[in-house]
Amino acid sequence: MADALLDRLGIADHPRIIAGYSGGPDVVDGVVGSVNPTTGATIAGVKLDTADSYERIIARAHEGFLRWRTIPGPKRGEVVRAIGDELRAHRDDLGRLVALEVGKILAEGIGEVQETVDIADFAVGLSRQLHGITMPSERPLHAMREQWLPLGPIGVITAFNFPNAVWGWNAMLGAVCGDTMVWKPSLMAPLTAIATNELARRVAESMGHHGVFELVIGTDDEIGERLIADKRLPLISATGSCRMGRHVASKVAGRLGRTLLELGGNNATIVAPDADLDLALKGVVFGAVGTCGQRCTSTRRLIIHESVADAFCDKLVKAYETVRIGDPLAEGTLVGPLINERSAEAFEAAVAAAKAQGGTILTGGGRAETGLGGAFVTPTVVRVPSGKSLPIAMEETFAPILYVMTYRDLDEAIALNNAVDQGLSSAIFTGSVRSAERFLDPSGAGSDCGLAYVNLGTSGAEIGGAFGGEKDTGGGRESGSDAWKAYMRRQTCTTNFGEKFDLAQGIRFE
Ligand code: UN1
């Protein structure tokens, strides 16, 4: 199946790909195996970049930038439109490759590529809207305006869990902004990266634009370190763990470059006593179980009013027990495998810690027997005894574990929501306008996260809004709204169209 898929995506004969490779996910002689997490079988080998090929790639991206930035924004938008069309045409195959390579269910794999199609559409419109503002000068016969200019070749580091869409958010915006992309994907999803990047590169090249979409695949030591230290890349946009983000941030800050960071989350959903509990149940289950708990937006904590907690937990457990775990490509499966054995071990360690710290496992807590070979676990609900706190619940474990804690009044619930280091996503289910608006309090006293939902779960953002979070989530914003500004540099322009030399602040210098 994989060979036919790679063929349909036009990368079966790609020089980086070694068909029939028998090695595993560890790098051996400059090759990494892309492993199907469902079975543990290697799909293909992928040749990694070296210091030399890195230099060639950066040179192409740099030369590409000098040309690409001269193309008017709306013309760049035409290229992005054609890329969006190509992605549309290959959406289902690319979604299938995502499912194959990272183990998310097919509907979510396809949904992810749809997210890239959506951001391409958004970027096309934006290509005619990269506008600055004008402001009145304090001096007569002077004009002031602000304009936005292309930034340069940019580094884009992506994680395994959204191996297509996170590139899409960065690359589609970066492209209309006049930047060129040097994409370093996760070594756990190199085939999706090759297929995605080739598709964009071929479209751009067929329209005469070279060096806009570059891909560099390699280890953190060999390639990652080089990329973040590289002064030729004025912006590094990085998605991944808080640990990775801290390292990237300090390295890039050391050379006074810019970062756009989208890091971990420890997202909570508050369920108020006046909530539509059926709606809340759906939101919590999708948020906590979807993508096998491997979204940065996954729901990790449920903060529920004590008066409805027991009944809700009963329903939750029943719902969890109907969730079908298995082959992500099979019809009816809702939960696929974790990405690898290491993730399953982290899951087990977190479950053990939760028990040791006094938590009660309501459902799940172990491996799921599917007979398929991958690292399958059972989605888990841990009840935190009232009045206690579990230190493990303060950490992000990239697995389907939901910690349930109770509250008495909304201030307490909001304080719990805000009590973790990360600040990505948050949600409240309530029928009360007062509670909803307190959660969104414009004074800032409500949720401290970058994303706040009412009567929706914590995951599944649309591309139209800015995506990202505060505190240890890194502060970056990608995707919609005015996130494009991160991909450009701002210039304040002042023109004297009179004949007098006039200084601001009334200074006389005669
Ligand atoms: C991620 O997990 O890194 O909001 C991104 C969501 C998706 C994006 C998740 N649109 O869940």
**pLDDT tens by residue, the chain, 510 residues:** 799 999 999 999 999 999 999 999 999 999 999 999 999 999 999 999 999 999 999 999 999 999 999 999 999 999 999 999 999 999 999 999 999 999 999 999 999 999 999 999 999 999 999 999 999 999 999 999 999 999 999 999 999 999 999 999 999 999 999 999 999 999 999 999 999 999 999 999 999 999 999 999 999 999 999 999 999 999 999 999 999 999 999 999 999 999 999 999 999 999 999 999 999 999 999 999 999 999 999 999 999 999 999 999 999 999 999 999 999 999 999 999 999 999 999 999 999 999 999 999 999 999 999 999 999 999 999 999 988 889 999 999 999 999 999 999 999 999 999 999 999 999 999 999 999 999 999 999 999 999 999 999 999 999 999 999 999 999 999 999 999 999 999 999 999 999 999 999 999 998
Q: Which atom of ligand 1 is nearest to the CA of 294?
A: 2
Tell me how far the alpha carbon of residue 422 lies from the centroid of ligand 1, in angstroms.
15
Tell me how far the alpha carbon of residue 295 lies from the centroid of ligand 1, in angstroms.
6
CB atoms within 10 A of CB 491: 11
Q: How far apart are CA 371 and CA 454, in angstroms?
A: 39
Q: Nearest to residue 372, comparing CAs of 110, 93, 36, 105?
A: 36
Tell me how far the alpha carbon of residue 231 lies from the centroid of ligand 1, in angstroms.
29
Q: Which domains does the chain have, with CATH numbers?
A: 50-263+474-490 (3.40.605.10), 267-469 (3.40.309.10)
pLDDT recorded at residue 1: 72
Q: Which helix (H) or strand (E) holds 430?
A: none
Q: Which atom of ligand 1 is nearest to the CA of 297?
A: 11
Q: Is 296 a catalytic residue?
A: yes
Q: Which of 160, 162, 289, 291 to mutate to test the pocket of ligand 1 (most atoms within 8 A of CB)?
A: 162
pLDDT recorded at residue 119: 98
Give first-to-last CA distance, the chain, whole Å.
80
Q: Which atom of ligand 1 is nearest to the CA of 295?
A: 2
* Side chain identity at residue 267, one-letter code: N
- CB-based contacts of 308-312 (< 8 A; 24+ apart in sequence): 308/271, 308/273, 308/275, 308/277, 309/404, 309/406, 311/277, 312/271, 312/277, 312/280, 312/281
Tell me how far the alpha carbon of residue 461 lies from the centroid of ligand 1, in angstroms.
6
Tell me how far the alpha carbon of residue 457 lies from the centroid of ligand 1, in angstroms.
12
Catalytic residue among 177, 296, 313, 449, which?
A: 296
C-beta separation of 153 from 233 below 8 A: yes
Q: Whose Cα sits closest to atom 3 in ligand 1?
A: 296
pLDDT recorded at residue 51: 96
Q: Is 449 a catalytic residue?
A: no
Q: Which of 297, 456, 458, 478 to mutate to test the pocket of ligand 1 (most atoms within 8 A of CB)?
A: 297
Residues near ligand 1 with C-beta < 6 Å?
Answer: 115, 161-162, 166, 239, 295-297, 459-461
Catalytic residue among 86, 214, 262, 478, which?
A: 262
pLDDT recorded at residue 387: 85
